[in-house]
């Protein structure tokens, strides 16, 4: 007998396993930001060009680590959308300037960004990403 642990979720070192966790975050606001304007606590992100910023309803209170601030990304299908500013308690701002539409949700965990991808960006391990996820998410279990 062995303990499968993170392998059940497709985490490293089980590179051939299916990535089974998908986390979509609701977009609650979209704003245009002019060059020179800032986003986030401490004005930590400054628009270099005219930008479109989506605010999603999730943050470190939901287990999303603050080390993703200004360097992580969320996804709209196969399109990466960089985090703009700091991850706050309940909100994350995301640069959606390159999208041709206003998304209703953005993915932080999907086939485009696995738990190990997110862990690498965040300076941690996939196990911490999974065990940190809070209780405020609506969970849907799908069997194959």
What is the structure's pLDDT at 135? Answer: 86
How many domains does the chain fold into?
A: 1
Structural domain containing residue 55: 22-132
* pLDDT at residue 7 tops 80: no
Six token digits for residue 7 = 């392998």
Domain annotation covers residue 144: no
Domain annotation covers residue 28: yes
121 near 68, Cβ under 8 Å? yes
Domain annotation covers residue 67: yes
What is the structure's pLDDT at 4? Answer: 74
The CATH number for 82's domain is: 2.40.37.10
What is the structure's pLDDT at 143? Answer: 75
Q: Burial-class residue 50 by CB neighbours within 10 Å (0-12, 13-18, 19+).
A: exposed
Domain annotation covers residue 114: yes
> Which residue has better confidence, 103 or 3?
103
Domain annotation covers residue 3: no
- How far is the C-alpha of 40 from the C-alpha of 7, rounded, in Å? 36
Q: What is the pLDDT of residues 61-88, one digit of tens each?
A: 999 999 999 999 999 999 999 999 999 9
78 near 112, Cβ under 8 Å? yes
Q: What is the pLDDT of residues 84-99, one digit of tens each?
A: 999 999 999 999 999 9
Q: What is the pLDDT of residues 34-58, one digit of tens each?
A: 999 999 889 999 999 999 999 999 9
* pLDDT at residue 6 tops 90: no
Domain annotation covers residue 58: yes
Calculate mean pLDDT across residues 105-113: 94
Segments of the chain assigned E as strands:
23-33, 38-39, 45-46, 51-56, 73-76, 79-82, 92-95, 105-109
């Amino acid at each position: 007998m062995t303990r499968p642990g993170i392998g059940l979720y497709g985490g490293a070192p089980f590179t051939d396993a299916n990535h089974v966790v998908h986390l979509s975050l609701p977009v609650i606001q979209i704003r245009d930001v002019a060059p020179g304007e800032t986003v986030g606590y401490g004005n930590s992100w400054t628009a270099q060009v005219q930008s479109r910023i989506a605010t999603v309803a999730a943050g470190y209170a939901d287990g999303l680590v603050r080390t993703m601030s200004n360097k992580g990304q969320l996804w709209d299908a196969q399109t990466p959308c960089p985090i703009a500013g700091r991850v706050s308690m309940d909100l994350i701002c995301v640069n959606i300037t390159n999208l041709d539409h206003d998304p209703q949700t953005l993915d932080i965990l999907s086939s485009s960004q696995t738990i190990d991808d997110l862990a690498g960006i965040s300076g941690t391990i996939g196990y911490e990403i999974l065990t940190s996820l809070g209780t405020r998410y609506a969970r849907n279990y799908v069997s194959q």
